[in-house]
Structure 1
């Protein structure tokens, strides 16, 4: 039929994503190489820790072992290789604007083997943080907003002082929309095994146990972000290590460079007709650049903004046609309507 049905279907999908209202780190990009992130459904080997968060929900507690790497988390079986001083792009699935809060990154050495480490013994050092980015704008801008605007991607840099070795990266956002109530803050920690290379000498011999990072009464945990209007925000957890970053993110429209930043590019692709059902296939681990099918009928086209590696796409406009589909970075996106 007309584009109305296609638009309605896409709108319903968007609403479902918002209703789900949570996310995970589905992919990691380091120096042009893509690594799969956390997937509670996949049985494939991954550097991302598996956790009992199939609902994409938050950690059940801020003070027990589930806060370390999420609920019932178990170590990843592989490693992401990264040179000290290099940036890591952490690619989130859909994240709702209502879930505003800080973005934080920690490192913990895990000895000779992160795949068998006891998470309760990991001692974390904060390497990066960002909280209330702009208190004067309306609405206020939080670090989570920057992650969303940067194509649902957060960029952190491994300090160049970090000694070669194996570490667990603990990446996290804390949603504060309900934090005005006791135990209302919602933490979404994600853990990833890293093998750091380079010539640094800081082995992070001391840190903070994951269960001791926060208390329920920390100013950055128990806080009403709506009223009275905040003029500042105290980011929870220990201080950032010397040589760590502030979490400044590159602009999606004007990629930045330098410490604590990375680049983000988008490509616009056209959808082509298909009879497949709406869905997606996981990206290939070898995907390093966005590509999309360009076979387009004269009457059916949809603009797509695709992530440069995983091919996550956002439909920005539709026109008429029986079905539309596109692939980007090895991932397939299809939408169809009933004729």
Structure 2
């Protein structure tokens, strides 16, 4: 087990190093100049100031020198200084991490639990009415872009049914104590989390339905029923444990897609997380901040892949390595 974990850790480190180099090259080869962007925001600047900023940001050095300096700083835990926000990239990320993690974790849990539950119920009667409803839901979920769903929800709950807040994470100036603040954040979280989770609910429900139908036709399920076990035990203890494996696999593999979707959701709902920060960084050509966000997202994806492997070992004891 220790050897297996060490091997996976080495692969993760090499993968992160490759991601660092690739992200650095892609961003620096992309069109745009951060100094020019800052000049536009200032309404213009002198050639002397432009040269000073280019030297201060290290953009006057060859690309391979910039890459070496960047990798050395990252190994020391330094992700650089933001060009636009004039602050440490690490501090900027840590300020936004809680909001993004709250949104992503809630959306993933809702999608996994609701999608699996709908898929299991639909698998009990594959040709029934409820199964057809789940199929229709999956088609709508696949077809609707995340930003479109968010805009529809904003229109619906801003004018037609003003029940939930449609912007920000907290109500400005609200002072209701700890539990009042928790309730306020929860209300603001409903629409962004549902928007992000909706497309994955559709995917997980279809996948769980197909896996559950296959599991219910297996020999060990017929044996369990022949022993006289109740249908609920057969369904949830024996069949579900095997049928949920593909869902767990897809969940771990799609965590990066969820983070990408969070960028659009946070922009639509003005949610103060990493997605909104990355959107602003792209517009302002803020290379260090964008690289820091991509590095953090890569680490989260690698961690999720490791947790997925561990979940496999817990769910299915047959998997030993």
* TM-score, structure 2 normalization: 0.23
| Greater relative contact order (Cα < 8 A, sep 6+) | 2
Instruction: Considering fraction of residues, name the structure with more strand.
Output: 1
* TM-score, structure 1 normalization: 0.22
Q: Which has the larger radius of gyration?
A: 2
